[in-house]
Amino acid sequence: MERMTRERDFTDPRIPNRDECVLRYLLDRWANERPDQPHVVFADGAEWTFAELRDKVRTKAAGLRAMGIEQGEHVAVWLPNGPDALIAFYAINYIGAVFVPFNTAYRGQLLQHVIANSGARVLLVHPDLVPRLHEIDLGRVERLVVTTGIEVPEAPRPIQRFDELAGAADETLELARPIEPWDIQSIIYTSGTTGPSKGVLSSYLHMFSNAGPESWPMVDENDRYMCVAPIFHIGGMGPPFVMLARGASVAMIDNFSTEDFWAVAKATQSTVVFLLGVMATFLLKAEPRPDDRDHTVKKAFMVPLTGDAPAFTERFGVDIYTIFNMTEISSPIVSEANPTKIGTCGRVRDGVDVRLVDRNDCEVPIGEIGEMLVRTDRPWAMNSGYNANPEATAEAWRNGWFHTGDAFRRDEDGYFYFVDRVKDAIRRRGENISSFEVEADVCSHPAVREAAAVAVPSEFSEDEVMVIVAPVPGQKLEPRQLAEFLIDTMPYFMVPRYIRILDELPKTPSAKVMKADLRKEGVTSDTWDREAAGLRVRREKFSA
């Protein structure tokens, strides 16, 4: 009741109070109201209550302020998941500075690009990553804050140790002005799989709207969200923040492991998990065990939603939800529990407008494919543009709508279905082919763990379809046998001509398959050619 009767900070009812959506005030609020309740647990059994976490955060925040970090300043963070990364995230926001994490796989020109784009004077970095800094121009970076207690290699800038970072909190943490919901909270860089990474400017209100109580009503204050995504990804830094908004908790895990997933979920008492890409496939194709339901997970987000969803629920006893989201937007499409329309992303949630359009931004009819455009009723509930990149901002936000670059179709019941990234679409023999749909059919083979479909040049015109697949561990997969399986399950024009088998598909640390690299490699010496093998597909086989 206290929350309902609290005096409002803003007259616009669409804008939550500061202590509902701004990290500093949220942390102070819960440390006062729920001091002994855990907010963060780790795989090793350690946990921090709201009060303990606030003390740690205030100490580091005071240290940052003592270094001269000002409200609104960008602070770069180049750390793997762990306690230091989370404390750095919260401490930076606690003084109203902007959290700017980098992908730990970056190096060379890409690393130099994001450092320059960030405009940061201070870089928090793990000692194992310091040698890569010698390879590049550090631009405006003046000082490195190095984590962990191990010996630090020679560095190209003066060093401050994170474990020694402290200050007089009461004297240094006063703000020049209140931190507002529309202030920039973070800059999250896109994956950069098809070009230079763009820094997405996100306000506190954008992060709150992304997966907060209104966007994800199925997650509440009694849940614990198990986070396995890296903290430099929206899927890694978003969960602690949105669970903080609920006064709830998060389990911070280093990375996803098929073998240990359910045991870690049980050990951390996690109730909500997010299964991105092939994670659900990995778990379902693992050998069944008698304790498959012996865990605490109640809800799972499966993205994308595959035909395996009912089997997943039956085996593991978990309710399945799905969504469509990306770093720049705020979960515009969300499903109900256990959706029966396999392949859907859900329907438009309240407070969001969605259109599917052609290349001229003209809306397409129901059932036809168009690029998804999004806008929200709430101000600042989506990205505030791309950092230091006005051209990309203007292009993405043309005509007053954010252009996702993703192609969808919508059915008569209002359900949306992802078709492809606009740039990943394949055109073969006059037919437009969804790489996403090709991959879904390929992954339906019991021996396939994951797949990527790409276009490669045809000797005739347009494209040929190539799939790169990784088998389920311990199972043998032959290209011809897979091709014969697909001939019986796919339209003739979608059946891949080329099949390449790898142990693992190349991915970014945020678990995105690096299709641009696979497309660039093209038809390699270890690629099987269906037509060269004499296995041809005729149109007549599929005629009505």
Q: Stretch 511-538: mean pLDDT, rounded?
A: 90
> Is 3.40.50.300 the CATH classification of the domain at 16-204?
no
Residue-wise pLDDT for 225-256, tens only, equals: 999 999 999 999 999 999 999 999 999 998 89
Dihedral class, residue 157 (left if φ above 0, else alpha if ψ from -120 to 50, else beta): beta
Q: Helix (H, G, I), strand (E, B), or coil: what is residue 141?
A: coil
Q: What is the pLDDT of residue 171?
A: 65
pLDDT > 60? residue 516? yes
pLDDT > 70? residue 3? no
% the chain with pLDDT above 70 = 95
pTM of the predicted structure, to 2 decimals: 0.87
Residue-wise pLDDT for 306-353, tens only, equals: 888 999 999 999 999 999 999 999 999 999 999 999 889 999 999 999
Q: How is the chain split into domains, by residue range?
A: 16-204, 238-421, 425-542
| Residue 123, token pair as written in the block | 């870089």
The whole-angstrom separation of Cα 474 and Cα 196 is 37
Listed range (30-34, 43-47, 427-431) with the worst mean pLDDT: 427-431
Strands (E), 412-447: 416-421, 426-428, 431-433
**CB-hemisphere CA count at 13 Å for 346?**
23
Domain 238-421 falls in which CATH fold? Rossmann fold (3.40.50)
Q: Over the range 223-248, which residues count as b (16 or more CB within 10 Å of their CB) and which as e?
A: bbbbbbbbbbbbbbbbbbbbbbbbbb
Q: What is the pLDDT of residue 54?
A: 97
Cis status of the peptide bond prior to 491, with omega within 30 of 0 = no
Please tell me which residue, 515 or 528, carries the higher pLDDT value: 528
- Cβ atoms of 184 and 201 within 8 Å: the answer is yes
The whole-angstrom separation of Cα 248 and Cα 221 is 5
Residue-wise pLDDT for 430-452, tens only, equals: 677 888 888 988 998 999 999 99
Q: Stretch 158-169: mean pLDDT, rounded?
A: 88
pLDDT band at 7 (very low <50, low <70, confident <90, very high): confident
Residue-wise pLDDT for 353-379, tens only, equals: 999 999 999 999 999 999 999 999 999
pLDDT > 60? residue 149? yes
| Residue 401, token pair as written in the block | 């709508």
For residue 143, the tally of other CB atoms under 10 A from its CB is 15
Listed range (156-160, 389-393, 454-458) with the worst mean pLDDT: 454-458
Residue-wise pLDDT for 346-355, tens only, equals: 999 999 999 9
The whole-angstrom separation of Cα 70 and Cα 61 is 11
Residue with structure tokens 């969808």?
408
**CB-hemisphere CA count at 13 Å for 370?**
21
| Per-residue CA distances from 132 to 7, 104, 110 (Å) | 50, 11, 12
- Cβ atoms of 144 and 123 within 8 Å: the answer is yes
* Average per-residue pLDDT for the chain: 92
Q: Over the range 7-18, which residues count as b (16 or more CB within 10 Å of their CB) and which as e?
A: eebeeeeebbbb
| Residue 30, token pair as written in the block | 């819960």
The whole-angstrom separation of Cα 17 and Cα 315 is 42
CATH number of 425-542: 3.30.300.30
Q: What is the pLDDT of residue 306?
A: 87
| Residue 147, token pair as written in the block | 């984590």
pLDDT > 50? residue 541? no
User: Is there a common fold for 238-421 and 425-542?
Assistant: no
- Cβ atoms of 530 and 464 within 8 Å: the answer is no
Backbone angles phi, psi at 198, to 5 degrees: -105, 140
| Residue 493, token pair as written in the block | 């024009």
Q: Stretch 93-113: mean pLDDT, rounded?
A: 91
